[in-house]
Amino acid sequence: MKPKTLKALYWIATVFFALLMLLDGFGGVTRQQEGKDVMIHLGYPEYVLTIFGVAKLLGAIAIIQTKYKTLKEWAYAGFAFTFIGALASRYFAGDGAGEIIFPLIALGIMFIPYFLWKKIEMTYRPL
């Protein structure tokens, strides 16, 4: 794959994922009713919406920035933990496959920009 194509795909995937997390984070910070209902269903207190929302907003900013690679790596790890935790929470709450699949889809979407970023780093790393 050409370097320009690889970078374009990376930025498209990264911006798409960051926008998803910004929207979800905003929904958490503003404590949207749907989020409250899910937290109650899963057995969590409502205030975790704000905590998760702020974390998602900061994580989205961290994956968009290009200066601090370690911060970006930690943001991706945080998103992975979030989605795996959501999957486990849904499973233990007794939700069906229709609800359990969404955190897996989000995890899959997250891995696209992550792997493209790592491929770019490997391609342009000085020896």
pLDDT, one tens digit per residue, over 55-83 is: 999 999 999 999 999 999 999 999 999 99
Which helix H or strand E contains 23, and what residues bound it? helix 3-29
In this predicted structure, the answer to whether residue 127 has a pLDDT above a threshold of 70 is no
Task: Dump pLDDT digits (tens) for 21-44.
Answer: 999 999 999 999 999 999 999 999
> Residues of the chain with pLDDT > 70: what percent?
98
Instruction: Locate 92 and state its tokens.
Output: 């233990």
Q: What was the pLDDT predicted at 1? A: 79
pTM, whole model, 2 decimals? 0.91
- CA dist., res. 9 & res. 65, Å (int): 16
